[in-house]
Amino acid sequence: MLDVRFVRENQDAVAEAMRNRHAEWDGELFARLDGERRSAIQREEALQAERNTLSKQVGTLMKEGKRDEAEAVKARVAALKDELAEAAAQRDAVDAQLRDLLLRTPNMPDASTPVGDSEDDNPEVRRWGTPTEFDFEPQAHWDLGPALGIIDFERGVKLASSRFVVLGGLGARLERALINFMADTHTARGYKEWWLPVMANTETMTGTGQLPKFEDDMFKTREDLYLIPTAEVQLTNLHAGETLSAEDLPKHYCAFTPCFREEAGSAGRDTRGLIRVHQFDKVEMVKLCEPENSFDELEAMTADAENILQQLGLPYRVISLCTGDIGFSAAKTYDVEVWLPSYNGYKEISSCSNCVDFQARRMGIRYKDPDSFKGTRYVHTLNGSGLAVGRTMAAIIENYQQPDGSIKVPDVLVPYMGGIEVIRPEGSVAGA
Protein backbone atom coordinates (compact mmCIF):
# COMPACT_ATOMS: atom_id res chain seq x y z
CA MET A 1 0.00 0.00 0.00
CA LEU A 2 1.27 3.45 -0.85
CA ASP A 3 1.99 5.86 1.98
CA VAL A 4 -0.73 8.52 2.31
CA ARG A 5 1.82 11.30 2.84
CA PHE A 6 3.82 10.20 -0.20
CA VAL A 7 0.72 10.26 -2.39
CA ARG A 8 -0.32 13.65 -1.01
CA GLU A 9 3.07 15.18 -1.74
CA ASN A 10 3.58 13.48 -5.14
CA GLN A 11 0.17 13.44 -6.76
CA ASP A 12 1.45 14.22 -10.26
CA ALA A 13 4.07 11.46 -10.07
CA VAL A 14 1.49 8.98 -8.77
CA ALA A 15 -0.94 9.86 -11.56
CA GLU A 16 1.79 9.39 -14.19
CA ALA A 17 2.86 6.07 -12.68
CA MET A 18 -0.72 4.79 -12.74
CA ARG A 19 -1.11 5.86 -16.36
CA ASN A 20 2.07 3.97 -17.23
CA ARG A 21 0.65 0.94 -15.42
CA HIS A 22 -2.74 1.29 -17.15
CA ALA A 23 -4.21 1.29 -13.65
CA GLU A 24 -7.33 3.10 -12.50
CA TRP A 25 -6.53 6.11 -10.34
CA ASP A 26 -8.88 8.86 -9.19
CA GLY A 27 -6.62 11.64 -7.98
CA GLU A 28 -9.55 13.96 -7.30
CA LEU A 29 -11.17 11.35 -5.07
CA PHE A 30 -7.92 10.87 -3.15
CA ALA A 31 -7.50 14.62 -2.66
CA ARG A 32 -11.09 15.00 -1.44
CA LEU A 33 -10.89 12.06 0.97
CA ASP A 34 -7.47 13.12 2.23
CA GLY A 35 -8.77 16.64 2.85
CA GLU A 36 -11.85 15.35 4.65
CA ARG A 37 -9.70 13.05 6.77
CA ARG A 38 -7.36 15.83 7.86
CA SER A 39 -10.32 18.12 8.60
CA ALA A 40 -11.95 15.39 10.69
CA ILE A 41 -8.73 14.86 12.61
CA GLN A 42 -8.36 18.60 13.25
CA ARG A 43 -11.96 18.83 14.45
CA GLU A 44 -11.53 15.84 16.73
CA GLU A 45 -8.31 17.27 18.19
CA ALA A 46 -9.94 20.68 18.73
CA LEU A 47 -12.92 19.12 20.51
CA GLN A 48 -10.62 17.00 22.67
CA ALA A 49 -8.55 20.05 23.60
CA GLU A 50 -11.72 21.98 24.51
CA ARG A 51 -12.96 19.09 26.66
CA ASN A 52 -9.65 18.85 28.49
CA THR A 53 -9.61 22.57 29.18
CA LEU A 54 -13.21 22.65 30.42
CA SER A 55 -12.72 19.54 32.57
CA LYS A 56 -9.94 21.34 34.43
CA GLN A 57 -12.18 24.38 34.90
CA VAL A 58 -14.87 22.33 36.67
CA GLY A 59 -12.64 21.63 39.66
CA THR A 60 -11.51 25.23 39.91
CA LEU A 61 -15.07 26.57 39.79
CA MET A 62 -16.23 24.12 42.41
CA LYS A 63 -13.40 25.18 44.72
CA GLU A 64 -14.41 28.81 44.20
CA GLY A 65 -18.00 27.96 45.09
CA LYS A 66 -19.29 28.77 41.62
CA ARG A 67 -21.53 25.75 41.46
CA ASP A 68 -23.89 27.07 38.77
CA GLU A 69 -21.02 27.93 36.46
CA ALA A 70 -19.45 24.53 37.16
CA GLU A 71 -22.70 22.76 36.27
CA ALA A 72 -22.88 24.70 33.00
CA VAL A 73 -19.33 23.69 32.14
CA LYS A 74 -20.17 20.08 33.03
CA ALA A 75 -23.09 20.20 30.62
CA ARG A 76 -20.80 21.45 27.87
CA VAL A 77 -18.29 18.67 28.63
CA ALA A 78 -21.08 16.11 28.34
CA ALA A 79 -22.15 17.60 25.01
CA LEU A 80 -18.55 17.50 23.82
CA LYS A 81 -18.46 13.76 24.50
CA ASP A 82 -21.24 13.26 21.95
CA GLU A 83 -19.59 15.63 19.46
CA LEU A 84 -16.31 13.77 19.86
CA ALA A 85 -18.01 10.45 19.17
CA GLU A 86 -19.59 11.93 16.05
CA ALA A 87 -16.25 13.36 14.88
CA ALA A 88 -14.49 10.04 15.48
CA ALA A 89 -17.18 8.22 13.50
CA GLN A 90 -16.74 10.66 10.62
CA ARG A 91 -12.96 10.18 10.71
CA ASP A 92 -13.33 6.40 10.77
CA ALA A 93 -15.68 6.49 7.79
CA VAL A 94 -13.29 8.63 5.74
CA ASP A 95 -10.32 6.50 6.87
CA ALA A 96 -12.09 3.38 5.61
CA GLN A 97 -12.80 4.95 2.21
CA LEU A 98 -9.23 6.21 1.87
CA ARG A 99 -7.78 2.86 2.92
CA ASP A 100 -9.98 1.01 0.44
CA LEU A 101 -8.83 3.35 -2.34
CA LEU A 102 -5.16 2.77 -1.50
CA LEU A 103 -5.62 -0.99 -1.05
CA ARG A 104 -6.83 -1.13 -4.65
CA THR A 105 -3.99 1.06 -5.95
CA PRO A 106 -0.88 -0.75 -7.27
CA ASN A 107 2.69 -0.05 -6.28
CA MET A 108 4.82 2.70 -7.80
CA PRO A 109 7.18 1.24 -10.42
CA ASP A 110 10.84 1.75 -9.61
CA ALA A 111 12.74 4.22 -11.79
CA SER A 112 14.65 1.28 -13.31
CA THR A 113 11.43 -0.38 -14.50
CA PRO A 114 11.09 0.27 -18.25
CA VAL A 115 8.04 2.20 -19.39
CA GLY A 116 5.89 0.22 -21.81
CA ASP A 117 2.35 -0.79 -22.65
CA SER A 118 2.43 -4.60 -22.70
CA GLU A 119 4.58 -7.74 -22.64
CA ASP A 120 5.73 -6.79 -26.13
CA ASP A 121 7.68 -3.93 -24.55
CA ASN A 122 9.62 -6.05 -22.05
CA PRO A 123 13.35 -5.74 -22.82
CA GLU A 124 15.52 -8.84 -22.74
CA VAL A 125 18.29 -8.70 -20.14
CA ARG A 126 20.26 -11.89 -20.93
CA ARG A 127 20.07 -15.44 -22.23
CA TRP A 128 21.54 -18.73 -21.12
CA GLY A 129 21.90 -21.72 -23.42
CA THR A 130 20.56 -22.02 -26.94
CA PRO A 131 17.11 -23.18 -28.02
CA THR A 132 16.99 -26.96 -28.36
CA GLU A 133 17.23 -28.30 -31.90
CA PHE A 134 16.06 -31.73 -33.03
CA ASP A 135 16.85 -33.95 -36.02
CA PHE A 136 13.31 -35.30 -35.79
CA GLU A 137 9.82 -33.78 -35.47
CA PRO A 138 9.47 -32.87 -31.77
CA GLN A 139 6.21 -33.34 -29.91
CA ALA A 140 4.46 -31.11 -27.38
CA HIS A 141 4.35 -32.19 -23.75
CA TRP A 142 0.57 -32.50 -23.91
CA ASP A 143 1.06 -35.27 -26.49
CA LEU A 144 4.21 -36.87 -25.09
CA GLY A 145 2.98 -37.03 -21.50
CA PRO A 146 -0.17 -39.06 -22.20
CA ALA A 147 1.70 -41.30 -24.67
CA LEU A 148 4.20 -42.14 -21.92
CA GLY A 149 1.46 -42.68 -19.36
CA ILE A 150 2.83 -40.00 -17.03
CA ILE A 151 0.22 -37.25 -17.60
CA ASP A 152 -3.54 -37.82 -17.77
CA PHE A 153 -5.61 -34.79 -18.69
CA GLU A 154 -8.88 -36.68 -19.20
CA ARG A 155 -8.87 -38.16 -15.70
CA GLY A 156 -8.12 -34.71 -14.29
CA VAL A 157 -11.34 -33.49 -15.89
CA LYS A 158 -13.22 -36.56 -14.64
CA LEU A 159 -12.02 -36.12 -11.06
CA ALA A 160 -12.39 -32.33 -10.90
CA SER A 161 -12.90 -30.20 -14.02
CA SER A 162 -10.96 -28.77 -16.91
CA ARG A 163 -7.51 -27.38 -16.07
CA PHE A 164 -6.83 -30.03 -13.47
CA VAL A 165 -4.20 -32.67 -14.19
CA VAL A 166 -3.42 -36.20 -12.98
CA LEU A 167 0.20 -37.40 -12.92
CA GLY A 168 0.89 -41.13 -12.81
CA GLY A 169 3.87 -43.46 -12.43
CA LEU A 170 7.11 -41.73 -13.35
CA GLY A 171 5.19 -38.49 -13.91
CA ALA A 172 4.33 -38.39 -10.22
CA ARG A 173 7.90 -39.41 -9.41
CA LEU A 174 9.30 -36.62 -11.61
CA GLU A 175 7.05 -34.03 -9.93
CA ARG A 176 8.28 -35.14 -6.51
CA ALA A 177 11.87 -35.22 -7.70
CA LEU A 178 11.66 -31.65 -8.97
CA ILE A 179 10.12 -30.40 -5.72
CA ASN A 180 12.83 -32.02 -3.61
CA PHE A 181 15.64 -30.91 -5.92
CA MET A 182 14.44 -27.30 -5.89
CA ALA A 183 13.92 -27.18 -2.13
CA ASP A 184 17.28 -28.83 -1.44
CA THR A 185 19.07 -26.43 -3.79
CA HIS A 186 17.56 -23.32 -2.20
CA THR A 187 18.16 -24.44 1.37
CA ALA A 188 21.78 -25.19 0.46
CA ARG A 189 22.05 -21.57 -0.69
CA GLY A 190 20.83 -20.16 2.63
CA TYR A 191 17.02 -20.22 2.44
CA LYS A 192 15.10 -21.46 5.47
CA GLU A 193 12.44 -23.95 4.41
CA TRP A 194 8.88 -23.78 5.75
CA TRP A 195 5.85 -26.07 5.56
CA LEU A 196 2.72 -23.92 5.33
CA PRO A 197 -1.09 -23.99 5.31
CA VAL A 198 -2.53 -23.88 1.80
CA MET A 199 -5.45 -21.78 3.04
CA ALA A 200 -5.18 -18.16 4.11
CA ASN A 201 -7.57 -15.72 5.77
CA THR A 202 -8.68 -12.39 4.37
CA GLU A 203 -6.13 -10.35 6.33
CA THR A 204 -3.27 -12.51 5.08
CA MET A 205 -4.40 -12.28 1.45
CA THR A 206 -4.80 -8.52 1.82
CA GLY A 207 -1.28 -8.19 3.20
CA THR A 208 0.43 -9.36 0.02
CA GLY A 209 -2.00 -7.60 -2.32
CA GLN A 210 -4.22 -10.41 -3.60
CA LEU A 211 -7.21 -8.79 -1.90
CA PRO A 212 -9.32 -6.83 -2.42
CA LYS A 213 -8.29 -6.28 -6.05
CA PHE A 214 -8.11 -9.88 -7.31
CA GLU A 215 -10.78 -11.75 -5.40
CA ASP A 216 -12.29 -13.09 -8.64
CA ASP A 217 -9.07 -15.02 -9.32
CA MET A 218 -9.20 -16.87 -5.98
CA PHE A 219 -10.82 -20.09 -4.81
CA LYS A 220 -12.77 -19.39 -1.61
CA THR A 221 -14.15 -21.80 1.00
CA ARG A 222 -17.40 -21.59 2.94
CA GLU A 223 -15.34 -20.63 6.00
CA ASP A 224 -14.10 -17.46 4.24
CA LEU A 225 -10.64 -18.91 3.74
CA TYR A 226 -8.82 -18.71 0.41
CA LEU A 227 -6.73 -21.38 -1.30
CA ILE A 228 -3.37 -19.70 -1.75
CA PRO A 229 -2.27 -18.74 -5.29
CA THR A 230 1.39 -18.86 -4.20
CA ALA A 231 3.41 -19.56 -1.05
CA GLU A 232 4.47 -15.89 -1.20
CA VAL A 233 1.22 -15.13 0.63
CA GLN A 234 2.09 -17.23 3.65
CA LEU A 235 5.86 -16.76 3.70
CA THR A 236 5.69 -12.96 3.58
CA ASN A 237 2.96 -12.83 6.22
CA LEU A 238 4.92 -14.95 8.70
CA HIS A 239 6.09 -11.70 10.32
CA ALA A 240 2.91 -9.62 9.83
CA GLY A 241 2.48 -7.12 12.65
CA GLU A 242 5.99 -7.72 13.98
CA THR A 243 8.94 -5.42 14.59
CA LEU A 244 12.15 -7.23 13.74
CA SER A 245 15.72 -6.43 14.73
CA ALA A 246 18.13 -5.14 12.09
CA GLU A 247 20.50 -7.92 13.13
CA ASP A 248 17.89 -10.48 12.05
CA LEU A 249 17.83 -9.20 8.47
CA PRO A 250 17.88 -10.29 5.76
CA LYS A 251 15.53 -13.25 6.07
CA HIS A 252 15.60 -15.74 3.19
CA TYR A 253 12.68 -18.18 3.13
CA CYS A 254 11.46 -20.87 0.76
CA ALA A 255 8.55 -23.31 0.69
CA PHE A 256 6.88 -25.86 -1.53
CA THR A 257 3.09 -25.63 -1.73
CA PRO A 258 0.30 -26.53 -4.08
CA CYS A 259 -1.05 -23.31 -5.60
CA PHE A 260 -4.59 -22.58 -6.75
CA ARG A 261 -5.75 -19.97 -9.25
CA GLU A 262 -9.16 -19.65 -10.80
CA GLU A 263 -7.59 -17.80 -13.75
CA ALA A 264 -10.66 -15.60 -14.21
CA GLY A 265 -10.49 -13.79 -17.51
CA SER A 266 -7.83 -16.09 -18.99
CA ALA A 267 -10.11 -18.24 -21.15
CA GLY A 268 -8.42 -19.25 -24.37
CA ARG A 269 -4.89 -18.64 -23.09
CA ASP A 270 -2.57 -21.64 -22.84
CA THR A 271 -5.47 -24.03 -22.33
CA ARG A 272 -3.45 -27.07 -23.41
CA GLY A 273 -1.00 -28.89 -21.21
CA LEU A 274 0.58 -27.84 -17.94
CA ILE A 275 1.14 -24.14 -18.59
CA ARG A 276 -2.05 -22.64 -17.15
CA VAL A 277 -3.97 -24.88 -14.77
CA HIS A 278 -6.10 -24.34 -11.67
CA GLN A 279 -3.82 -26.34 -9.35
CA PHE A 280 -0.05 -26.53 -9.65
CA ASP A 281 3.01 -27.07 -7.48
CA LYS A 282 5.60 -24.39 -6.90
CA VAL A 283 8.68 -23.79 -4.78
CA GLU A 284 8.65 -20.15 -3.73
CA MET A 285 11.39 -17.84 -2.46
CA VAL A 286 10.73 -14.82 -0.22
CA LYS A 287 13.09 -12.26 1.27
CA LEU A 288 12.70 -9.60 3.95
CA CYS A 289 15.54 -7.10 4.06
CA GLU A 290 16.68 -3.57 4.77
CA PRO A 291 15.68 -1.04 2.08
CA GLU A 292 19.26 -0.22 1.10
CA ASN A 293 19.90 -3.83 0.07
CA SER A 294 16.66 -4.83 -1.62
CA PHE A 295 17.69 -4.38 -5.25
CA ASP A 296 20.90 -6.35 -4.70
CA GLU A 297 18.72 -9.03 -3.09
CA LEU A 298 16.51 -9.01 -6.20
CA GLU A 299 19.49 -9.69 -8.44
CA ALA A 300 20.58 -12.54 -6.16
CA MET A 301 17.08 -14.03 -6.04
CA THR A 302 16.84 -13.99 -9.82
CA ALA A 303 20.22 -15.73 -9.97
CA ASP A 304 18.88 -18.39 -7.59
CA ALA A 305 15.97 -19.06 -9.95
CA GLU A 306 18.35 -19.19 -12.91
CA ASN A 307 20.59 -21.61 -11.04
CA ILE A 308 17.82 -24.21 -11.02
CA LEU A 309 17.43 -24.00 -14.81
CA GLN A 310 21.17 -24.08 -15.36
CA GLN A 311 21.52 -27.25 -13.31
CA LEU A 312 18.66 -28.78 -15.28
CA GLY A 313 20.31 -27.72 -18.54
CA LEU A 314 17.23 -25.86 -19.78
CA PRO A 315 17.72 -22.85 -22.08
CA TYR A 316 16.15 -19.64 -20.81
CA ARG A 317 16.17 -15.88 -21.00
CA VAL A 318 15.59 -13.10 -18.45
CA ILE A 319 13.41 -10.11 -19.24
CA SER A 320 12.60 -6.96 -17.28
CA LEU A 321 8.87 -6.34 -17.05
CA CYS A 322 7.68 -2.95 -18.21
CA THR A 323 5.20 -0.72 -16.39
CA GLY A 324 2.27 -2.06 -18.42
CA ASP A 325 3.05 -5.70 -17.53
CA ILE A 326 4.38 -5.57 -13.99
CA GLY A 327 2.40 -7.14 -11.13
CA PHE A 328 0.19 -5.24 -8.70
CA SER A 329 2.54 -5.26 -5.69
CA ALA A 330 5.86 -5.10 -7.53
CA ALA A 331 8.13 -2.11 -8.03
CA LYS A 332 10.50 -4.07 -10.27
CA THR A 333 10.25 -7.57 -11.73
CA TYR A 334 12.44 -9.93 -13.70
CA ASP A 335 10.73 -12.81 -15.49
CA VAL A 336 12.77 -15.91 -16.22
CA GLU A 337 11.42 -17.64 -19.34
CA VAL A 338 12.30 -21.20 -20.29
CA TRP A 339 12.52 -22.41 -23.90
CA LEU A 340 9.50 -24.52 -24.89
CA PRO A 341 9.75 -26.13 -28.35
CA SER A 342 5.94 -26.50 -28.57
CA TYR A 343 5.64 -22.71 -28.48
CA ASN A 344 8.80 -22.18 -30.52
CA GLY A 345 9.56 -19.55 -27.93
CA TYR A 346 10.20 -18.73 -24.29
CA LYS A 347 7.55 -19.13 -21.57
CA GLU A 348 7.57 -17.69 -18.05
CA ILE A 349 8.73 -20.14 -15.40
CA SER A 350 9.72 -17.70 -12.66
CA SER A 351 8.85 -14.15 -11.74
CA CYS A 352 11.14 -12.39 -9.24
CA SER A 353 9.91 -9.11 -7.78
CA ASN A 354 10.99 -6.41 -5.37
CA CYS A 355 7.89 -4.96 -3.72
CA VAL A 356 9.92 -2.43 -1.66
CA ASP A 357 7.79 -1.37 1.37
CA PHE A 358 4.41 -1.77 -0.39
CA GLN A 359 3.51 -5.12 1.21
CA ALA A 360 5.26 -4.39 4.50
CA ARG A 361 3.07 -1.32 5.01
CA ARG A 362 -0.06 -3.42 4.42
CA MET A 363 1.16 -6.11 6.83
CA GLY A 364 2.84 -3.87 9.40
CA ILE A 365 6.31 -5.47 9.19
CA ARG A 366 8.94 -3.12 10.58
CA TYR A 367 12.44 -3.42 11.91
CA LYS A 368 14.39 -1.50 14.53
CA ASP A 369 16.84 0.74 12.72
CA PRO A 370 19.44 2.30 14.99
CA ASP A 371 20.24 4.89 12.30
CA SER A 372 16.63 6.07 11.91
CA PHE A 373 15.41 9.00 14.00
CA LYS A 374 12.02 7.27 14.20
CA GLY A 375 13.56 4.08 15.52
CA THR A 376 11.71 1.75 13.14
CA ARG A 377 11.31 1.42 9.37
CA TYR A 378 9.34 -0.84 7.08
CA VAL A 379 11.27 -3.78 5.65
CA HIS A 380 11.39 -4.41 1.92
CA THR A 381 9.83 -7.66 0.72
CA LEU A 382 10.78 -9.73 -2.33
CA ASN A 383 9.33 -12.87 -3.85
CA GLY A 384 10.22 -15.21 -6.68
CA SER A 385 9.33 -18.60 -8.11
CA GLY A 386 12.03 -21.13 -7.64
CA LEU A 387 10.42 -22.66 -9.79
CA ALA A 388 6.91 -23.44 -11.04
CA VAL A 389 7.12 -27.23 -11.00
CA GLY A 390 4.57 -28.08 -13.70
CA ARG A 391 6.12 -25.74 -16.20
CA THR A 392 9.54 -27.15 -15.37
CA MET A 393 8.22 -30.66 -16.04
CA ALA A 394 6.79 -29.50 -19.36
CA ALA A 395 10.16 -27.97 -20.30
CA ILE A 396 12.02 -31.17 -19.39
CA ILE A 397 9.63 -33.36 -21.38
CA GLU A 398 9.93 -31.19 -24.46
CA ASN A 399 13.63 -30.35 -24.35
CA TYR A 400 14.82 -33.82 -23.33
CA GLN A 401 12.60 -35.87 -25.66
CA GLN A 402 14.24 -38.58 -27.73
CA PRO A 403 13.39 -39.83 -31.27
CA ASP A 404 11.63 -42.92 -29.84
CA GLY A 405 9.30 -40.79 -27.68
CA SER A 406 11.17 -41.40 -24.44
CA ILE A 407 12.43 -38.64 -22.12
CA LYS A 408 16.00 -38.42 -20.88
CA VAL A 409 16.11 -37.44 -17.21
CA PRO A 410 18.45 -34.48 -16.52
CA ASP A 411 21.57 -35.74 -14.75
CA VAL A 412 20.94 -33.70 -11.62
CA LEU A 413 17.54 -35.38 -11.15
CA VAL A 414 18.68 -38.99 -11.59
CA PRO A 415 19.42 -39.44 -7.84
CA TYR A 416 15.97 -38.03 -7.03
CA MET A 417 14.45 -40.48 -9.54
CA GLY A 418 15.98 -43.49 -7.84
CA GLY A 419 18.58 -43.93 -10.56
CA ILE A 420 16.11 -43.83 -13.46
CA GLU A 421 17.80 -42.12 -16.41
CA VAL A 422 15.12 -42.44 -19.09
CA ILE A 423 11.34 -42.25 -18.90
CA ARG A 424 9.85 -44.74 -21.34
CA PRO A 425 6.24 -45.73 -22.11
CA GLU A 426 4.55 -47.72 -19.36
CA GLY A 427 5.22 -51.40 -19.71
CA SER A 428 8.74 -50.96 -21.09
CA VAL A 429 11.97 -50.95 -19.11
CA ALA A 430 12.27 -47.57 -17.37
CA GLY A 431 15.99 -47.58 -16.67
CA ALA A 432 19.12 -46.44 -18.36
Active site residues: 261, 276, 348, 351, 391
| Integer angstrom CA distances of residue 349 from 15, 284, 355 | 32, 12, 19
Q: What is the largest CA-CA distance in the chain?
A: 108
Query: Residue 236 in contact with residue 254, Cβ under 8 Å?
Result: no
Measure the CA–CA gap between 426 and 432, rounded to whole angstroms: 15
Residues 253-262, buried b or exposed e (16+ Cβ, 10 A)?
Answer: bbbbbebbbb
Q: Where does residue 421 rank: exposed (0-12), middle (13-18), buried (19+ CB within 10 A)?
A: middle
Alpha helices in 64-161 (DSSP H): 67-103, 141-148, 153-159
- The burial of 97, by beta-carbon neighbours within 10 Å (0-12 exposed, 13-18 middle, 19 or more buried), is given as middle
Distance in angstroms (rounded) separating the CA atoms of residues 114 and 324: 9
Q: DSSP characters for 395-409? A: HHHHHTB-TTS-EEP
Read off the amino acid at residue 287. Answer: K
DSSP character string of 208-240: HT-TTTTGGGSEE-TTS-EE-S-THHHHHHTTT
Question: Which amino acid would we find at residue 7?
Answer: V
Extract the runs of DSSP E, i.e. beta strands, from 104-213: 124-128, 151-152, 166-167, 192-194, 199-200
